[in-house]
A and B are shown apart, each in its own frame.
Chain A
Amino acid sequence: GAVVSQHPSRVICKSGTSVKIECRSLDFQATTMFWYRQFPKQSLMLMATSNEGSKATYEQGVEKDKFLINHASLTLSTLTVTSAHPEDSSFYICSARDPGQGDYEQYFGPGTRLTVT
């Protein structure tokens, strides 16, 4: 099956710093990648959809200047949390769609737990 990796798996940073999270599709080319955020005991919340070579589409209420998304290649998308604050502490999960599969299943990365102190 399609495999998606994320790096780092855990990160702790100080308030005001920026953190970059990488999402890679390992054995397929992902024209579309998704970034989710999940707070404890809550469901997934879609933050943005990124298409290779174009600007990401952000969901309502998500600050695009704070959460920078770059999908520069068919196998890599990055999410940068700029000027992080404690309220940004969350579980960030990326997913990718494999157009070669001909369906709309999203393959999830293992997630990145961000803690801002």
Chain B
Amino acid sequence: GQNIDQPTEMTATEGAIVQINCTYQTSGFNGLFWYQQHAGEAPTFLSYNVLDGLEEKGRFSSFLSRSKGYSYLLLKELQMKDSASYLCAVIDSNYQLIWGAGTKLIIKP
């Protein structure tokens, strides 16, 4: 079966750095997305990785290792507004988007 694993919840301090991991086992791979979702709102796009390595975009970076079936989202200089759920999603060989359950990130002052 297809499976995407992320931690259910993480807590971090304002101004700090946090890394949210995602491991996947899917039938094929055509890319991995990270989305941010605030409570009661729709997801918003953060990043897309299809090749191995680190993609940096401002305070957010995303890393991919296809051989390990592993990705992480790195958030720097955390702000209170970063409190949200972070969803990892993989495009499989049928170009279907397989969603993880999401990681709820709690930022404390």
Q: Which residues of A contact B (CB under 8 A)?
A: 34, 42-44, 46, 91, 93, 103-111, 113
List 9 interface pairs A-B (beta carbons < 8 Å), by A numbering. Answer: A34-B97, A42-B101, A46-B99, A91-B40, A93-B42, A105-B48, A106-B33, A106-B97, A108-B44
Q: Which residues of B contact A (CB under 8 A)?
A: 30-31, 33, 40-45, 48, 87, 91, 95, 97, 99-102
Cα separation A93 to B31 with both chains bound (whole Å): 22
Cα separation A113 to B42 with both chains bound (whole Å): 11
Closest CB of chain A to B39's CB: distance in Å? Answer: 9
Q: Tell whether, in the assembled complex, residue A103 and residue B100 are in contact, meaning their CB atoms are under 8 Å apart.
A: no
Q: Tell whether, in the assembled complex, residue B91 and residue A104 are in contact, meaning their CB atoms are under 8 Å apart.
A: yes
Q: Which 10 A-B pairs have the closest CB atoms?
A: A108-B42, A43-B101, A111-B42, A43-B102, A93-B42, A104-B91, A44-B99, A108-B43, A110-B42, A43-B99
Q: Tell whether, in the assembled complex, residue B31 and residue A104 are in contact, meaning their CB atoms are under 8 Å apart.
A: yes
Closest CB of chain B to A69's CB: distance in Å? Answer: 17
Q: From the candidates B40, B45, B87, name the one contacting A43 in the complex (CB within 8 A).
A: B87
Closest CB of chain A to B60's CB: distance in Å? Answer: 16
Q: Tell whether, in the assembled complex, residue A104 and residue B95 are in contact, meaning their CB atoms are under 8 Å apart.
A: yes
Give the chain A neighbours of B101 by CB distance below 8 A: 42-43
Give the chain B neighbours of A106 by CB distance below 8 A: 33, 97
Cα separation A46 to B92 with both chains bound (whole Å): 15
Give the chain B neighbours of A113 by CB distance below 8 A: 40
Give the chain A neighbours of B40 by CB distance below 8 A: 91, 111, 113
